[in-house]
Amino acid sequence: MVRNGIGRRLGALAAVAVIAAGCSSSTGTTGPSGPKTFTIGYSNGGSVGNGFREEQVCTAKAQVKMYPEITNLTVIHRNTDAAGQLSDIRDLIAKNVNAIVFNPNDPDALNPALEEAAAKGIVTVSVDAYVTDPHTWNLYNNQIKYAELGAKWLFDQMGGTGTVWYTRGLAGHPADSDRDIGFQTVLKQYPNIKVVPSNSGVFTGWDPATTTNLTNDFISSGQYDKIQGIWASGMGKQIVDAIKAANKPFVPIVDADIGGFVSQLLDPTNFPGLKGAAVTNTASVGGAGVTMALKLLKGETITQSAGAGRPNTVLLDPVLLDNTTDAGKAALKAWQSVPGLDQLWPLSLSIQGWTTYDPNTVPASCKGA
């Protein structure tokens, strides 16, 4: 999500990138005991230019380089709707890839293509959000818990009373829908918290420019002066920048672990009085999805997360840090471990057990793409 350097360059291209790692064949090499090498397809069907999505694709490219048995990665990375992504997945099927890793635009609409992939023996892995196709494995951040952690922190900062501006992501995206479940669950526990523009929130599309415009309009309308907190969904940096540009005092805000947002939380000189919390939403699910696909291709056993609530699902637990204590600030600073990282990218660049690349190599993996 969430939501500028590499991100802008990739977003401007908004094209199909084919990344070869060694052999240029688009099909696996078959030996007496089955395929010895594999080809992977990757589909991202929206939010091109968003830091989370750009980093996600880059981690997939970085992880592929760690596996010599993966000879080719074909990436389709563009802004489209569910119907367009359905077509993209079918294009990858036509290339006879051995596995497809994808960030779904919809939990159900891609199922016809995923059924076709299963019929051809193609492994499918959904990252960042889930799909309902029974053949596909899902690997994503626990978005319900993400929202619950942030909402509880925010409502407590407000003393359990006041008005929150509820800004969301991409309408219909499974991750956004899960976050709304978490937000609404905690909201019910705080009867004195009100939400604007409504309990359904306002959608940013996880687009920086859209978010900035929405924030400017919100400030100009006078509504900002009547709120006591902001719940963000990866676009916190743009919101904070717009508030500063309008010379308005800050209210507590919670967002994802986006580099620029964390930098704002640690910069009291330029953002005086800013209280905020960052919740991890690792974009490394891209690289992790490649690892999961390879494990499945090799017939390895994958253990489903306990309590996932959905079959074939591995959940990653988020962590919240805030800037209200010295310990919290120190922990936030420790997240800034990769120098020169794009400010729109999340800071959590690895997932234990699922990614093996050096996090410092991830930004370079996208240069020239």
Asked if residue 71 lies in contact with residue 270, where contact means CB atoms within 8 angstroms, the answer is no
Six-digit token pair at 202? 């306002």
Average confidence score pLDDT of the chain: 90
pLDDT at 33: 53
**DSSP assigned state of 359:** G
Q: Over the Cα atoms of the chain, what is R_g? A: 20
Helices (H), 188-325: 208-220, 236-245, 259-265, 285-297
Instruction: Say whether pLDDT at 24 is over 60.
Output: no
Which class for 250: exposed (0-12), middle (13-18), buried (19 or more C-beta within 10 A)? middle
Q: 32 or 192: whose pLDDT is higher?
A: 192
Q: Which residues pair with 75 in a beta bridge?
A: 17, 42
Mean of pLDDT values over 145-159:
98
**Helices (H), ranges, the chain:** 5-13, 51-64, 82-94, 111-119, 143-157, 174-187, 208-220, 236-245, 259-265, 285-297, 326-335
Tell me the pTM. 0.83
Q: Is 137 in contact with 314 (CB distance < 8 Å)? A: yes
- The Cα 72–Cα 57 span in angstroms is 14
- Answer for the pair 71, 37: CB distance below 8 angstroms, yes or no: yes
Per-residue model confidence (pLDDT) at position 89: 98
Question: What confidence tier does 343 reach under pLDDT thresholds 50, 70, 90?
Answer: very high
Paired with 100 in beta bridges are 41, 124
User: Distance between CA atoms of 126 and 285, rounded to whole angstroms?
Assistant: 9
Contact 175, 1 (CB under 8 A): yes
**62, amino acid identity:** A
pLDDT over threshold 90, residue 295: yes
Residue-range domains of the chain with CATH: 5-141+283-316+348-366 (3.40.50.2300), 143-279 (3.40.50.2300)
**Structure confidence at residue 49 as a pLDDT band (50, 70, 90):** confident
pLDDT band at 34 (very low <50, low <70, confident <90, very high): low
Q: Name the amino acid, one letter, at 331.
A: A
Rounded Cα distance between 138 and 229, Å, is 33
